[in-house]
A and B are shown apart, each in its own frame.
Chain A
């Protein structure tokens, strides 16, 4: 059964300045990367057209496939932790207290720390010989060494990202919670709703908008993460924590393989675009239902 509704698209003219800015900051660089991806570039003036050779090579490269699977696992893990944890933290923040601004400032602090500093903080914090976390875990009788054990490296990486970014989800969720009018709560109370029902049927539907933003931001950010794991583990032990961006940086900057790195970048970009579109369209489809 089809349903039709006319659209007025004249308002799109208002976004023309943004389109121009995006053209210069994103579209032109992206076109350049596509141009690079079909050539073997020896130096600035010496390059040869190779067609889709680099794409074929990248798609059949086991290191790319492994890094991709690690990347998906990492993004899913941090989203599974950060979204519920952020909502839980937001629900714990008092809405009309003199302490609220202070709590919000403290909560926002991890977001203000530069990414390489976050990596350095956790690198020292988790060290089994001098770091508070590492020494404490070992003192409890649990052998912990993130520099030699892949599982420990992963746990440390996930903990670091959760520490760094849960605040963002919490702040967005808090903004969503404060926008819910009190009569909704009063009506739910009159209906005898318990705390879970209040959350499930009053708060969660009205948080949907901010949670979509939170998930999209975290999905894109986590898929592009580079600095923190690079500083914390350097991709190790072995390649255990080498994510896509680090593998790409090794190709582009370390080995100066500009052609293969450009093909890698285009594939990487397409996957981010696909995931964001799939997620966005599934939410839109659910809203329409």
Chain B
């Protein structure tokens, strides 16, 4: 695996995404998702909203990095809040 040039932070990052997908899969088997219409302009499933959360998180961090720079705790907090909002009412 050395050719993949792993680092601890990237390994933790991908593990977190993998764990989230695993939790979503288990959750899906126990309680199948429903197409729901929230504040987003189209009907979405739980997986859709998770994907949008991840994509949004990436752009929130990029925007923060491109404009403010420095530490990204603020961006991470914003991304988590947005993800909660999206998963619950999106």
Contact = CB atoms under 8 A, between A and B. Distances in A.
A288 B55 contact: no
Q: How large is the interface on B (under 10, 10 to 19, 20 to 34, 35 or more residues)?
A: 20 to 34
A3 B43 contact: yes
Given A38-B7, A59-B65, A7 B55 contact: no
Contacts of A34: 10, 13-14
A49 interface: yes
Interface in A3-26: 3-9
A6 B41 CA distance: 19
Nearest to A27: B14
B42 A284 contact: yes
A112 B84 CA distance: 48
Interface in A260-289: 267, 270, 273-274, 277, 281-282, 284-285, 288
Nearest to A30: B14
Contact of B32 (A9, A35, A273, A282): A9
27 contacts: A1-B37, A3-B35, A3-B37, A3-B43, A6-B32, A6-B34, A7-B33, A7-B35, A9-B28, A28-B4, A31-B4, A32-B5, A34-B13, A35-B10, A36-B5, A38-B9, A47-B5, A51-B9, A52-B65, A56-B65, A59-B62, A60-B66, A270-B55, A270-B59, A284-B42, A285-B41, A288-B42
Interface of B: 3-7, 9-10, 13-14, 28, 32-38, 41-43, 45, 51-52, 55, 58-59, 62, 65-66, 69, 72
The 5 closest A-B pairs by CB, nearest first: A59-B66, A285-B42, A285-B41, A35-B5, A4-B34
